[in-house]
Structure 1
Amino acid sequence: MTTHADRIPAYQTGTWTIDPVHSDVSFVVRHLGVTRVRGTFDHVEGTIVTHEDPLQSEVTAVIQTSSVNTRNDMRDDHVRTADFLDVEKYPEMTFKSTGIRVKDDVYLIDGDLTLRGVTRPVTLETEVGGFGPGMQEGHTVVGFSASTEINRSDFGVTGGTAGAAVSDKIKITLDIEAGRS
């Protein structure tokens, strides 16, 4: 009988720490309905715990909201205000998995996303990049790519008067590398 662990090459159990240097949390939002504005959050940390049955694994992540980076200082300063992220009051955005399932050979990580003090369920469509040796002897790494789409209004992110220029839907993409020694 084939298990989910058998379907993931070199699958390993353990506790993995997200490597912020080799991980990327990015987003895309429509501006004025005609263009896409892209950005990243430059500070992410968290833990992935893989179990013998991958569907029992767990993910937690913390993103520093002040680390938003759209390559435009004026826009970033505005996104940090109460109009959008309100980083003074809500310095972190968090994700905690509540379950993992498979649909049509795609891993779906269900979890709770908390942004601006509002917690909503989200599902990350996830691809396992693989498990392998790290750069240092005895160090093992794992990689994942995941994406989801949220409505910013569900989290109280109105945008103030500028909100009319920005789409409600935000696509979020994560490319995560985590290590275990």
Structure 2
Amino acid sequence: MTATTTDIPGYVTGTWTIDPVHSNVSFVVRHLGVTKVRGRFTDFEGEIVTAEDIRNSSVTATMRTASVDTTNEQRDEHVRNADFLDAENHPTLSFRSTGIRVDGEDYLIDGELTLRGVTRPVTLTAELGGFGDGMTEGSTILGVSAQTEINRTDFGVGEGVPSAVVSEKIRIELDIEAIKQD
């Protein structure tokens, strides 16, 4: 299937900057096997390029590890330290797409996630929210949601922390609004 601008109503090609004020980069991890703890990154940036053929589009994003927020400062400090994100030695984590595939109404964004200096392939399942008018006159926005699941130990995160305390599986959830730049 070739997904071009004629296949997606209102599709707009161009370069888009992620709007951190109207976007969310979050994660969910199980604690003690019974509850879910949620967190997010408050300082991030990125760019989306929408091509005529959506499969030729791309995404890049960078999150600052020190900006992690789980709504508990003591836990946040622990997540920032060497046990988990090691923010002092690894101030950012990043994603770079390597390809996009069409899967029904979803899009699979293949890419490389770099966390604690370790780069591994990941696939995001994305839903295109659409294109619309922005808040300022003449501006255009793009909305997309995406999710994936990683194993924290694949990236050296929390290797000394038993999975009975913090699950190895971490769900990553993204709700992105981006503003057209060209």
Q: Which residue of 2 aligns with 1:78?
A: 78
Match of 2:47 in 1: 47
CA distance in 1 between counterparts of 2:62 and 2:108 reads 19
Given that 2:105 and 2:127 are in contact with CA atoms closer than 8 Å, whether structure 1 keeps it comes out as no
**Paired residue for 2:130?**
130
Instruction: Say if 2:148 is the partner of 1:169.
Output: no
CA distance in 2, matches of 1:17, 1:114: 20
SS of the aligned residue for 1:21 comes to: helix
Q: Deviations over 1:114-170 (max 9, x none)?
A: 000000000000000000110101110000000000000000002534665100000
- Which amino acid in structure 2 is aligned with residue 120 of structure 1? R
Larger deviation, residues 103-112 vs 155-164: 155-164
Contact 1:96 1:113 in 2 (8 A): yes
Q: Is the 8 A contact 2:33 2:164 kept in 1?
A: no
Give the share of equivalent positions with the same residue, in percent.
65
Indicate the residue corresponding to 2:22 in structure 1. Answer: 22
Q: What CA distance in whole angstroms lies between the structure 1 residues aligned with 2:58 and 2:161? A: 39
Gaps of 5+ in 2: none
More helix by percentage: 1
User: What is the one-letter code of the residue matched to 1:28?
Assistant: V
Instruction: Name the counterpart of 2:102.
Output: 102
Deviating more after overlay: 157-166 vs 16-25: 157-166
C-alpha distance in 1 between matches for 2:125 and 2:40: 19
* Alpha-carbon distance in structure 2 between the residues aligned to 1:3 and 1:85: 37
Count of aligned pairs: 181
CA 1:3–1:149 in 2, change beyond 3 Å: closer, same or farther? closer
Write out per-residue CA displacement over residues 23-75 of structure 1, whole angstroms, 9 at most, x where no aligned residue: 00011000000000011111110100111111100100000111100000000
1:112 aligns with 2:112: yes
Is the counterpart of residue 64 in structure 1 residue 64 in structure 2?
Answer: yes
Mapped partners of 2:161, 2:105: distance in 1: 43
Q: Shift in Å at residue 103 of structure 1?
A: 2.1
Between 155-164 and 58-67, the greater mean CA deviation after superposition: 155-164
- 1-structure distance, mates of 2:59, 2:27: 20
CA distance in 2, matches of 1:162, 1:65: 22
Given that residues 8 and 128 in structure 1 are in contact (C-alpha distance below 8 angstroms), is that contact kept between their aligned partners in structure 2?
no
Structure 2 contact 114–120 (Cα < 8 Å) conserved: yes
CA distance 1:160–1:55, change in 2 (3 Å): same
Gaps of 5+ in 1: none
